[in-house]
Amino acid sequence: MAILDSKIPDGSLETKWSNYKSHIKLVNPSNKRKLEIIVIGTGLAGSSAAASLAELGYKVKAYCYQDSPRRAHSIAAQGGINSAKNYKNDGDSVYRLFYDTVKGGDFRSREANVYRLAEVSTAIIDQCVAQGVPFAREYGGLLDNRSFGGAQVSRTFYARGQTGQQLLLGAYSALSRQIGLGNVQMFNRHEMVELVVIDGKARGIIARNLTNGKLERHFGHAVVLATGGYGNVFFLSTNAMGCNVTAAWKAHKKGAFFANPCYTQIHPTCIPVSGDYQSKLTLMSESLRNDGRVWVPKKQGDKRKPIDIPEDERDYYLERKYPSFGNLAPRDISSRAAKEACDDGRGVGESGLAVYLDFADAIKRLGKDVIEARYGNLFDMYKHITNEDPYQVPMRIYPAVHYTMGGIWVDYNLMTTVPGLYATGECNFSDHGANRLGASALMQGLADGYFVLPYTIGDYLSGEIFTKAIPTDHPAFLEAEKQAKERIDKLLSIKGKKSVDDFHKALGKIMWEYCGMARNAEGLAKAKQMVRQLRDEFWKDVKVTGEADELNVDLEKAGRVADFMELGELMIDDALDRNESCGAHFRVEYQEEGEAKRNDEKYAYVAAWEHKGVGENSVLHKEQLVFENVHFATRSYK
Amino acid sequence: MKFNLKIWRQKNASTPGKIVDYSIDNINEHMSFLEMMDVLNEQLIHKGEPPVAYDHDCREGICGMCSMHINGRPHGPLAATTTCQLYMRNFKDGETIYIEPFRANSFPVIRDLVVDRSAFDRIMQAGGFVSVNTGSVQDANNIPVNKQHADLAMDAAACIGCGACVAACKNSSASLFVSAKISQLALLPQGQVEAKERVLAMVNQMDEEGFGSCTNTGACEAECPKEISISNIARMNREYYIASLT
């Protein structure tokens, strides 16, 4: 079995990154101008990387499937971004942020990466403020903070309930500046459909121009995937409708190992499903748990209105079970606790698949005005969707798929197992272990794009200064284009009876039922067969309308769902392999008093999967996780 | 619920489009408008017809990708609401609903309800930024910002760049969109250094893209799903005059 080299530099945890940066190979400015970098995706990780690389002098080409880079789904992040600024003087430090993140990830992340993340977190806030990001401020004009799940300090910076939007627009403004200067060439409405590998190195992509359906060949000395997560494999998730795994999956099939695919975060506070027509789920920011109290009736099947249920007949189960963190227990724990309450027959609402998030106490304590100032837009959003006023009645919430900790395997440089191919942000696997803490996704996306990749990519590109741009009529480009075309033609030629959404919904049901919040070996084994069967059926009976050479939304969706069908099986394989519970991965066979039971002796590794062909079993490579600075501990929030 | 839909269908930019009638039944009042469109599209696909192309992505009112003129109004009948946040309970059973793309010369139709809003991107590229490179900045709290100004800047920054302001305006003016960014940066100390160059460059680009002039009808503010105030346009004009004269 191959040993994965994580390339973690030597030295003490605190000095690794600064020493490494000082000794890493550089590319001189006149050579940077000759080097081309492709960046796929323009969310926080992609926009920040594209802008920063262009500022350094590289020639950058950036791609997004939306009509503008400003629309990437980072924009929907509500609550905030963590940073170890310690502006609150409440004892925060880089080490504490590092420790909270490792512990929050249930000891399944890489120490060195996480420490670096915590270390650069402070520079992110400086950068964003300088760009004009309108963070919330106190009356003295300084920055305000709030607290988030899994932390006992206030280290979360925010811009009302639209932090992701404001950070993304900041990165978009930096990107726009570079586009205007001619340093970045921007390709809107383009989707990467193949990776081009020449002599073992990533050298370009095939992109489909979504406006006219044309396949285009693009060369790059390096390719950066910043394509987000794969939560839409479940059909229903908080992801945007277009979020997909396609670019990452094509890279996986060309040699990039896929790590920990089974680690998917189920967010505890989403608006419950209301009917089978539902197309997506909407998140209510975790920040609401600062002031909202989660409860269900003590009695099973209690159908009284919430207001008619007296205080002593309510079970504030998070406060009861986790007194030191209370309603701010981490996401995986809060989600499972909600599921337990509902499985126990104490769920609320029509479906019984919901719990209350109640602001009555907070409104009494602080007044409606304060609550409105803090969460006004979230309350409005809730009312829009449910037609209920959360100032009057408690919100109903239920867990939903939100984020994927797993992703393309990368080393310390954020390089994948394909030389010259990088993965950043949610697209990679490295920093959140088996569970991500709130307000850390924005932090990681921007850390990778602004402060990590621009340094580490130089180490590789310094060896490429003599590589001339490879003409795109090179056989490898033609072959990749042929593959992409054949797949599109195949999809259009099946002309079966079921729509793409029919298949996507069926896949989502299997994944949610057997590979969702709770998993077991028997169910997973069954699900693997079901996914294989569904995939066979897809390729025999899917109906895709329209033509290849036009804007064709049906075809776009079909390509993405086809890839989800393959990914689904790998997620199941990974969940089956991991005979323990850790973070968001909860195997019912492995628990202790209802809490996840890890097996550090056997499973303190990153599972990196190598693709061997569709329908073939993937090969597992293990990267052993070494903890030199923190010690394994049972993750208790009690 | 049941609806008669009159939807603009257009194969591509160079083919003329037309309104096509569809009727749809069994619509749940809790469905979102776009979920109703999904149901229609599923029916079309099962019949072997190409679905109605429309832009959408986050479906939570923040990405700005969804557009659509619904019964003559961008994002439909409700104030402060994007199309994706519109629910069928806001319509009457049996109602006829007209669904068209945003109409503006600077937003050419690509297909059906999908329009090209890249003019907005080019305006931002002309000056919608603070010129700071990554890593070259000071500690965040070295730049105190008056809370009132910070809040006003945030009000302006809430713009989602959907283009409803342009679609609502009889002149197809982009003033509300452009002024939101100019205001945000004009209100913050970080934006001061380049304030004059910014407003001149962005307004110039706006004109080059062919957007019309502002005649203060206020339609943009009324239709803006994020309730961006037209006082931002006044601020943009003030900034523009100062920059032109000094």
Q: Which residue in this structure is represented by tokens 């052993």?
A: A624
Query: What is the C-alpha separation between A163 and A521, in angstroms, rounded?
Result: 39
Is the separation of the CB atoms in A522 and A587 below 8 Å?
A: no
Residue A190, CA atoms < 13 Å, CB-side half-sphere:
24
A 95-154 residues inside an 8 A Cβ radius of B: 123, 125-132, 134-143
Strands A222-225 and A36-40: parallel
- Residue count of chain A: 638
pLDDT at position A1 is 45
Query: Cβ neighbours of residue A507 under 8 Å, at least 6 residues apart?
Result: A233, A235, A531, A534, A561, A564, A565, A568
Q: How is residue A147 annotated by DSSP?
A: -
Return the closest-CA partner of residue A417 out of A570, A257, A607. Answer: A257
Could you give the C-alpha distances from A219 to A37, A203, A474, B125, in angstroms and in order?
8, 6, 10, 24
**Secondary structure class of B133 (helix, strand, coil):** coil
Query: Which CATH code of 3.40.50.620, 3.10.20.30, 3.40.50.1970, 3.30.70.20 fits the domain covering B3-111?
Result: 3.10.20.30
Q: Which of B55, B129, B145 sits opposite A137 (nearest CB)?
A: B145
Q: Which CATH class is domain B118-245?
A: mainly alpha
C-alpha B55: how far from chain center: 12
Per-block average pLDDT, block size 10, for chain A (638 residues)?
A: 84 97 96 98 98 98 98 94 97 97 96 98 98 96 89 92 96 98 98 98 98 98 98 97 98 98 96 91 89 96 95 96 92 92 94 95 95 87 92 96 98 98 97 95 98 98 97 98 98 98 97 96 98 98 97 98 98 98 96 90 98 97 96 86
Angle, alpha carbons A234-A239-A241 (nearest 5°): 85
Cα of B136 to nearest chain A Cα, Å: 8
Q: Which of B12, B35, B62 sits opposite A279 (nearest CB)?
A: B35
- Our answer to whether residue A137 is catalytic in this structure is no
**Secondary structure class of A373 (helix, strand, coil):** helix
Q: Which of A139, A165, A186 sits opposite B147 (nearest CB)?
A: A139
Could you give the C-alpha distances from A362 to A259, A331, A371, A401, in angstroms and in order?
42, 21, 8, 28
A 570-629 residues inside an 8 A Cβ radius of B: none
For all residues of chain B together, what is the average pLDDT?
A: 97
Task: Answer yes or no: do B63 and A134 touch at CB < 8 A.
Answer: no
B 120-179 residues inside an 8 A Cβ radius of A: 120-121, 124-135, 137-141, 143-147, 150, 153-154, 157-158, 160-161
Query: What is the C-alpha separation between A529 and A520, in angstroms, rounded?
Result: 15
Query: What is the C-alpha separation between B225 and B243, in angstroms, rounded?
Result: 30
Task: Answer yes or no: do B126 and A132 touch at CB < 8 A.
Answer: no
List, in order of start, the domains of chain A with CATH numbers: 269-401 (3.90.700.10), 494-599 (1.20.58.100)
Domain ranges of chain B: 3-111, 118-245
Cα of B179 to nearest chain A Cα, Å: 15
Return the closest-CA partner of residue A441 out of A608, A567, A286. Answer: A286
Say which of A110, A289, A331, A396 is annotated catalytic.
A331
A 273-302 residues inside an 8 A Cβ radius of B: 274-275, 277-280, 282-283
**Secondary structure class of B97 (helix, strand, coil):** strand
CA torsion A577-A580-A585-A590 (nearest 10°) is 130
Give the helix/strand (H/E) hosting A446.
helix A441-446
Is the separation of the CB atoms in A142 and A166 below 8 Å?
A: no
Interface test with B, best of A384, A505, A549 (most B CBs within 10 A): A384
pLDDT of B107 strictly over 60: yes
